[in-house]
Structure 1
Amino acid sequence: MYSPPWFVFKPKLSASGPGRDSFRLMSKKTYTNHVTVWNVRHMPRGCGTWPSLWEFGANWPAQGEVDIMEGVNGHGTNQATLHTTSGCTVGGSRSITGTSVGTNCDVAATGNAGCPVLDSSSKSFGENFNSNGGGFFAMERSSAGVKVWFWPRHASNIPSDVLDGATSVNTANWGTPMTDFPSTSCDMASHFGPHNIVINLTFYHVNSNPGAFDWAYFDIAWLKIDWIIQGIAASLLVIFLVMECKCSMYWC
């Protein structure tokens, strides 16, 4: 539903039905090397919620997966992860602000855990994120690897091109990323193909507790996608949307 100036996505379900299914909004277009910047005002939180902003390729995991924002139950901090086939690792010294909790990105070797990095900012996920007014997530994928950044809403170091939603960005000015998955021990061309971008909200234990999910919704001011061709930003797609996944007393 379009309600200027927002798009609102809210499933209509019957009170006598089985309840609300998990939700996935996926881009029709696919992207290879690119930058995404997410201006998120509110993310789903609460016990039984599993929100994520991510992207993946066909024939998973052959063309890889990048998790930009992910967590469960509204607890802890954001986790950014790569999921790949064998031969992709991120060992060695990296200049990152987050904490690595795995270096082998192969899903078969890690029970699908991949190679996650936890954000050091308490404002990067859940209620702390929401109470601070949200923030900005950004991801750069290039032949050199994958990088993820996060800036809380009122941080003094938010790059001007991110804060202003500029029509072009310069990631070289963004400072140390939350995580860096370099291509030195993970060949990007053989592990990552064209990706669909996904906004995801998975529920569990919903039917018996619909009132507990009043805050289980995304409010995304905008998502900007910048294609990179041989290191040059080529074009820009801007999507303005608000997603609402709230519960009533009968369903969620």
Structure 2
Amino acid sequence: VWPAFWSKGPQWPDNGEIDIIEGVNLMGANRYALHTLPGCSQPQGVLQTGVPGVTDCSQPTGCFVTETRPDSFGEAFATAGGGVWATQFDVAGIFIWFWNRANLPRSILEATSTSSIDISEWGPPSASYPAPVCDIPRFFSAQQLVFDITLCGVWAGIPSEYDPQCSNAGQTGRCYNDNVVGPGSPKYDDAYFEINYVRAYTTGGPAPTATPSSGWVYPNGSSTAMTLPTATGVFSGARNPIDTSPNGVASLGMSCQFVSWSGLI
């Protein structure tokens, strides 16, 4: 299987794609990514807890980051009771956080569908894509949220991914033939999303800008002129996550999407 929670603009890849949850087969960790036209990348040494991979967002893999928490995907995620992801999407950059069920911040535990939320206690994100290295209004328009589970497909079903993990699943050693044709695989009985909620928030004040500041300290102690993710605000309650401004561009003030579930295998 190839489950994902992601967002995309009307035209792909012209209007951008954000992969919040994505993985295949028996992977043990979630993988975040952006997909864009050439010109957007993730800089080296960004403040994040995940492990960077490809940094050019126009590559087929996107610019991806692998989550370091062992219960962020698959069986371990379900065994831990699920978790919560949060995505900050604005002109200062795109930042994604993950917490397992046992370590949720108080601001999320106490949040309701109509309350505001304070993200100042969240700490560094799992994946960080700051401006101005990627010009968010240029590469991303209003986003549509997508949940899907692909059976096999061009990632989960290719031999380099399928054979090491699942080649003994059937007689042919081919993903589609052994798992989809005919009655299908009984393993699919446990391949589902159990979604508690999806919420979107927006700032009530002026939109943040991508102007440089001296506030971001790299993990190695050196400083950079990039803007730190704006993580000190209090945001107003639920809002349409695909809301657009009059010119057709996403409202990039600060909108955070939160999703929680407890059944992804």
Q: Which residue of 2 aligns with 1:182?
A: 130
Secondary structure (helix, strand or coil) at the match of 2:99 reads strand
2 CA distance for matches of 1:119 and 1:242?
17
Q: Work out whether residues 33 and 65 of structure 2, in 8 Å CA contact, stay in contact via their aligned partners in 1.
A: yes
Q: CA deviation at 1:93?
A: 1.6
Matches of 1:71 and 1:236, distance apart in 2? 28
- The match for 2:195 is 220
| Residue in 1 that maps onto 2:235 | 233
Instruction: Normalising by structure 1, report the TM-score.
Output: 0.70
Distance 2:203 2:14 in 1: 22
Change (3 A) 1:244 1:163: closer
Which one of 6, 19, 34 corresponds to residue 67 of structure 1?
19
SS at match of 2:202: strand
Q: Corresponding residue for 1:133?
A: 81
| 1:234 to partner: Cα distance | 4.5
Q: Counterpart of 2:77 in 1: which secondary structure?
A: helix
Q: Which structure features the higher share of helix residues?
A: 2
Q: Distance in 1 between matches of 2:259 and 2:17?
A: 24
2:107 counterpart of 1:161: yes
Aligned partner of 2:41 among 89, 95, 110:
89
Residue-by-residue CA offset, 1:3-54 (whole Å, 9 max, x unaligned): xxxxxxxxxxxxxxxxxxxxxxxxxxxxxxxxxxxxxxxxxxxxxx111111
Whole-angstrom distance in 2 between the partners of 1:241 and 1:99? 23
Q: CA distance change for structure 1 residues 212 and 65 in 2, over 3 Å: closer, same or farther?
A: same
**1: CA distance between counterparts of 2:57 and 2:106?**
33
Aligned partner (choices 171, 181, 188) of residue 207 of structure 1? 181
Deviations 1:78-131 (A, max 9, x none): 00000000110112221111000111101xxx2x21100000011000000000
**Which of 45, 48, 52 is the aligned partner of 2:4?**
52
Counterpart in 2 of 1:144?
Answer: 92
Report percent identity of matched pairs. 32
* Secondary structure class of the residue paired with 1:104: coil
- Bigger relative contact order (CA 8 A; separation at least 6): 1
Contact 1:89–1:105 (CA under 8 A) maintained in structure 2: yes
**Contact 2:2–2:150 (8 Å) recurs in 1:** yes
Contact 1:53 1:69 in 2 (8 A): yes
The AA in structure 2 aligned to 1:236 is A
Which protein has the larger Cα radius of gyration, Structure 1 or Structure 2? Answer: 2
Change (3 A) 1:176 1:73: same
Q: Is residue 91–residue 185 contact of structure 1 (8 Å, CA) maintained in 2?
A: yes
